[in-house]
Amino acid sequence: MDIDGREFYCINAALEAHGIGPVSHDFFLHNYYRRPFEIGTGPRMVLEIAIEGKNVEPERVYETYRRLFGETVDRAKLQKGATKVLRFLKSKGLKVGVATMRFTRSVVDSEFQSFGVEPLIDTLLTREDLGLKRTLSSLEETVEQRVRLVSKVLEKLCLSAGEAFLVGDSWWDIRAGKKLKMRTVLVKTGFSLHSDFSSEKPDLALGSLEELEAAVREKGWMSAH
């Protein structure tokens, strides 16, 4: 999902709720997307820097942000081409699973319902399904927990790692896929739009989801189901 506008709105609304002025879009992009090799989640990192030196409890601001994010499903947008590629995959009999390290499953569910893509997704698991309610402690754990989540999705889909391919937009997506010996696709959206992850050597690197259908056909991955 393309959540830039929604995230930006919710972060500034949370700051305003605690009497703190808004951040600029450049500030948001730098602290959300351009610090991919630091420990922490994008919104939390933006908020922590924004409230530095202010007399406010970080967790209170973050909880306000999470509440606002859950209340603004109407501001969510799918990445361009997402619905079309999901329909293509399903039309070819491929199973589709979503593994997201976003926490609240109910929010993601409501987004998929709003977009009308719920029937195109066989399995959805979030960070909530891992039972994690804390900040990850290291970059290594970031990858390992991602591996756990993707493994659970594969299990639910009744697929082996060799039968599936993983599509993601971050270094930890690609690294997790490689640890599982999956084929990997890096799409230049989200984190990879603002950082160069080519050193992770994904099997495919695409400029957008709109390119995925042709790439999958060319690679002969249509039998991955």
Over the stretch 183-198, which tens digit does the pLDDT of each residue have? 999 999 989 999 999 9
What is the 3-state composition of the chain as percent helix, strand, coil, each rounded to the nearest 5? 55, 10, 35
Give whole-number Cα distances, 224 to 46, 61, 74, 95, in Å: 39, 44, 34, 8
pLDDT band at 113 (very low <50, low <70, confident <90, very high): very high
Q: Is 1's pLDDT higher than 60?
A: no
Q: What would the pLDDT profile of 79-94 be if each residue is shown by its tens digit?
A: 999 999 999 999 999 9
For the domain spanning 82-223, the CATH number is 3.40.50.1000
Mean pLDDT along residues 115-143: 88
Angle formed by the axes of helices 25-33 and 42-50, nearest 10°: 130
Query: What average pLDDT does range 204-223 have in this prediction?
Result: 91
* Spatial distance between the Cα atoms of 25 and 29, rounded to a whole number of angstroms: 6
pTM: 0.90
Q: pLDDT at position 223, please? A: 63
Residue 136 confidence (pLDDT): 72
Q: Is the pLDDT of residue 4 over 90?
A: no
6, pLDDT greater than 90: yes
pLDDT of residue 117: 96
Domain boundaries, the chain: 4-75, 82-223
